[in-house]
Structure 1
Amino acid sequence: MLFPTATFAIFFLLVLPLSWLTMPWPHRWRPFIVLASYVFYSWWDWRFVFLLAGCTLWNQVLAVRIWRSKVQSQRKALLVLALAGNIGLLGYFKYYDFFVSSSDNMAEIVGLDLPLSLKSIVLPVGVSFFTFMAISYVVDAYRGEFEPTTLEKFAVYLSFFPHLVAGPIVRPSELIPQIETPRDPRRVDTSRAFYLIATGLFKKVVIANYLASSIVDQVFAAPGQHSSLEILIAVYAYAVQIYADFSGYTDIAIGIALLLGFQFPQNFDSPYAAVSVQDFWRRWHMTLSRWLRDYVYIPLGGNRGTSLATYRNLMLTMLIGGLWHGAAWTFVVWGGLHGGALAWERWRRERRSPADATRRTTGRHVWAARIVTFHFVCFAWIFFRSDSFGAAWDMIESLFTNWGAPSPLVTTGVLLAIAVGIGSQYLPARIPRLLMARFSRLPVLGQATVLALALMVTSVLGPEGVAPFIYFQF
């Protein structure tokens, strides 16, 4: 079930009042919201509801046993078992065909014939997100940072429909305490919720879909048939498309959760205004960045060892992050590019003099750093978006070899959408707060009018139909 559809609107108009009506009685509300979340998930394929339920039961049983066990060796064995189940689930559905095809290719090089066959396994929507949340739950229990809750509450945490299929990745300590007690409808920040939903819809339905259909899909499908200018603008357009698509989804998710009385963590913070790759990852998909830091980078050793060990840990973390995004070597290369850039930036910082560090805070250096960072990120997006290495190299080669050719896809609308997508990230933070404050002071009729106008503009400017969200495939 997609957010910007009439089906979801009907679903939410039923769930919202029933959620608040049952909220004073948690033992009624929790089964209701789990059922609603399972209906939401089953709309795509009802069979995978059993997968979600099995994942819930598996992690709850093992997390409770880990917490209660007093024998360290037993706790560690249970943790390994829990992780093996989650990684095995993710590995089978997401990576089986990838590893089989990669193994076949390697065996072919050395003259071997492996008896392996592809299965064309259907990837369950959101499996990467809810398995990462489940891993957080059992690891936090193992570390003694969070006591496992009841099965009923954990089922709400893992299946809660606003974050279920594409995040944000919410930690147990961020959501489960909110599930413990009924929410107060008088404390719901409706102005922020409606602002996030309206802007999220505009980013997804208008900006992302327009750029995808107008230039991105055509150029990436056949880069050799397009001019260098179209290639360059398509790369910029994809950078805006993926930002508008994913941040738009999470804005809607956060807004919907707010209307239900729940706070989700922020997931994006003007990533294309970043002054370094490290800064980019503090702003882009922030819940995933923190997850990789706390559950991969720090367990690998973080920056506690030698400089070389730190560079290795950065690279391994980003390679895993790349592979998490998709079962293809292009995603691994994308992660490797970011890992290499993070290691290089750290190496530079370790050798930077105090005077040099001071100079880099001036306006000229800050803007130079933003431009370099943005273009590095855009270059890496080529591998992320391309279907193969061949397609990625065609994009890069065509970027330099076909200047002066006609560029009919570079239209005023495309350039305007790119400018809006990037320029909006440089708006002062006080502007959205001011708009939300003014909206909240409007009478109910005025608020309804503003929302109706926003939805009408989005509907008129948006293309016919709604494309799936990019991050659904991850």
Structure 2
Amino acid sequence: MSYLSIEFSVLFLIFLCLYWSCRKWPVLQNYMLLIASYGIVASFNYTFALILAGYSTVIFVLSLLIEKTKYQRFWFSISIIAAMVNLAIFKYFDFFSNALQAVINDLGLGVLIPSTEIIMPIGISFYTFHSISYIVSVKRREIKQTDFISFMLFLSFFPSIVAGPINRARDFLPQIKVKTCRELLEPYRAFTLILFAVVKVYWLSSAIADTWVNPVFSSPAEYNSLDLIFALYAYAIQLYLNFSGYTDLVTAIALLLGFKLPINFNLPYLAINLRDFWQRWHISLSCWIRDYVYIPLGGSRCGFFRTQVNLLIAMLLSGLWHGASLNFLIWGGVHGVGMVLLNIGDKYFGRNFLANRFAFLAKLITFQYVCFAWIFFRSSSFSESIEYLSAIMNNFSDVSLHFNSLVYILLLLVGYYLYPLATNLQNNTIKYMRRVHWLFLPIIFILILWIVISFAPSGIPNFIYAGF
């Protein structure tokens, strides 16, 4: 069930009325949230809900053993292994089995690995990371062992289970286990975020995808190099609008339920380098990778060379988290290599050497590098990525322009130059919305929704990160 569908909107409004009618009983609200969350998971496939319930039970029992027994390290290791094996089976089995079968065939062993079609459960990457956060927090004594219902809700909380953001146990569990009545949080901000989400995802992202991105990426050999470059920039914008729009929507939903989700985006295309980019893009994931992969590997504590190795491993795992394919590994590797080169530059020329002298140039170079990496992220296979890159290199004169791409690219550069003006857009919109009487807010919403539907492509758009 799409969170942008009419069905979800109607059901959510009904649920919201029932939910806040039980305001005096937060425990009852938690049960309602748990039922709603499992209902949404089951709406994709009922087996997904069964898998989530089984996984939650196993991890909760193992977390009890971590806290209650003297074999903490053993049960902690078993818990991490169980979480990763579950993720590997459902998300990476086909990828690794195909790779292993290719090796076996090359060796001429004549062994066939059984072919099994495994459907990846919705949200498995996100609730796996949530559970690891909980296990680590229990092991480190950052939090006390919670009850089973609260743990199940933490893993399944429906605003963030489909495509994040990634919640931390120490930050989110206290919001579940409140003792006093919950409050509706920042209603004007929630309303503004919903408007932003509708415009970003339903209209702009979809229009960009249908008009430029999908046609060009489906047959790059037919397009001029300028078309291909523009389509790549367009995809960077499409992905950002889609993912940040989704984050806006679920943040608003959580606020209406009395919960706060972590910030996930902070104008990432204003980054002065790749390090800065990952402090602005999918912040909850980059922080998770830093705290639970990079730092446990040794971080920057073991010398310059080891730091770069740890960084590469962390970025490769970040790529693999996004999907079980060679392309995502390459995408993570491209970012890893870029950050290693950045660290080498910092070591010999001083930290942020270019950005401190030519800030706009540093931002522009970073944006170009990030867009180059998006080729591997968007293409469905390595061969398609190479085809796209080859077409960019070779189609300057052999293929005529489909779009007035040079004009579009120039407009994009102008837009990029004006992009910093968006820094306070959300806060300013909220400020103006506060001046509007709440009775008129539905009229504003209906008017904007009518405009969006009038200009947007037909159909309900998908959330790109729901596939990860």
Q: TM-score, normalised by structure 2?
A: 0.95
- 2:375 match: secondary structure: helix
Deviations 1:135-190 (A, max 9, x none): 11111111222222111111111111100110000111221111111675655201
Deviation at 1:321, TM superposition (A): 0.5
Question: Are 2:379 and 2:385, in contact at CA under 8 Å, matched by a contact in 1?
Answer: yes
State the distance in 2 between where 1:258 and 1:67 align. 32
- 2:439 match: secondary structure: helix
When residues 102 and 384 of structure 1 are mapped into structure 2, their CA distance, relative to the original with a 3 A threshold, is same
Q: Which residue of 2 aligns with 1:369?
A: 362
Amino acid aligned to 1:256:
I
Amino acid aligned to 1:3:
Y
Q: Which residue of 2 aligns with 1:318?
A: 315
Q: Which residue of 2 aligns with 1:50?
A: 50
Deviation at 1:23, TM superposition (A): 3.0
Amino acid aligned to 1:399:
I
Q: RMSD of the alignment, in Å? A: 2.2
State the distance in 1 between where 2:6 and 2:393 align. 45
Aligned counterparts, 1:75-474, within 5 A: 75-181=72-178, 188-353=185-350, 357=353, 360-362=355-357, 365-404=358-397, 405-410=399-404, 425-474=419-468
Question: Are 2:183 and 2:258, in contact at CA under 8 Å, matched by a contact in 1?
Answer: no
Q: Which residue of 1 aligns with 2:36?
A: 36
Aligned residues: 467
Amino acid aligned to 1:21:
S
When residues 186 and 23 of structure 1 are mapped into structure 2, their CA distance, relative to the original with a 3 A threshold, is closer
Amino acid aligned to 2:447:
L
Percent identity over the alignment? 35
Amino acid aligned to 1:392:
S
Larger CA deviation: 432-441 vs 42-51: 432-441
Question: Are 2:175 and 2:259, in contact at CA under 8 Å, matched by a contact in 1?
Answer: yes
Amino acid aligned to 1:381:
W
Question: Are 2:226 and 2:405, in contact at CA under 8 Å, matched by a contact in 1?
Answer: no
Amino acid aligned to 1:443:
H
State the distance in 2 between where 1:132 and 1:285 align. 14
Deviations 1:315-358 (A, max 9, x none): 0000001000001001000001111111111121122248x84x
Amino acid aligned to 2:274:
V
Q: TM-score, normalised by structure 1?
A: 0.94
State the distance in 2 between where 1:152 and 1:58 align. 14
Question: Are 1:268 and 1:286, in contact at CA under 8 Å, matched by a contact in 2?
Answer: yes
Deviations 1:379-406 (A, max 9, x none): 0010111111111111111102111432
Question: Are 1:174 and 1:264, in contact at CA under 8 Å, matched by a contact in 2?
Answer: no
Amino acid aligned to 2:21:
L
State the distance in 2 between where 1:398 and 1:139 align. 47
Deviation at 1:33, TM superposition (A): 0.9
Amino acid aligned to 1:110:
L
Deviation at 1:361, TM superposition (A): 2.0
Question: Are 2:272 and 2:355, in contact at CA under 8 Å, matched by a contact in 1?
Answer: no
State the distance in 2 between where 1:255 and 1:143 align. 32
Question: Are 1:250 and 1:267, in contact at CA under 8 Å, matched by a contact in 2?
Answer: yes
Question: Are 1:34 and 1:155, in contact at CA under 8 Å, matched by a contact in 2?
Answer: yes
State the distance in 1 between where 2:414 and 2:359 align. 21
When residues 290 and 412 of structure 1 are mapped into structure 2, their CA distance, relative to the original with a 3 A threshold, is same
When residues 141 and 416 of structure 1 are mapped into structure 2, their CA distance, relative to the original with a 3 A threshold, is farther
When residues 418 and 108 of structure 1 are mapped into structure 2, their CA distance, relative to the original with a 3 A threshold, is farther
- 1:361 match: secondary structure: helix
Amino acid aligned to 1:261:
G
State the distance in 1 between where 2:415 and 2:448 align. 17
Larger CA deviation: 134-143 vs 279-288: 134-143
Larger CA deviation: 245-254 vs 142-151: 142-151
Amino acid aligned to 1:38:
Y
Deviation at 1:86, TM superposition (A): 1.1
Deviation at 1:27, TM superposition (A): 2.8
When residues 19 and 410 of structure 1 are mapped into structure 2, their CA distance, relative to the original with a 3 A threshold, is farther
When residues 424 and 9 of structure 1 are mapped into structure 2, their CA distance, relative to the original with a 3 A threshold, is farther
When residues 325 and 413 of structure 1 are mapped into structure 2, their CA distance, relative to the original with a 3 A threshold, is farther
Deviation at 1:442, TM superposition (A): 1.1
Question: Are 1:323 and 1:332, in contact at CA under 8 Å, matched by a contact in 2?
Answer: yes
Question: Are 2:319 and 2:329, in contact at CA under 8 Å, matched by a contact in 1?
Answer: yes
State the distance in 1 between where 2:185 and 2:294 align. 36
Deviation at 1:467, TM superposition (A): 2.9
Amino acid aligned to 1:31:
Y
Larger CA deviation: 49-58 vs 314-323: 49-58
Larger CA deviation: 222-231 vs 303-312: 222-231
State the distance in 2 between where 1:5 and 1:170 align. 25
Question: Are 2:26 and 2:181, in contact at CA under 8 Å, matched by a contact in 1?
Answer: no
Deviation at 1:203, TM superposition (A): 0.9
Unaligned runs of 5+ in 2: none
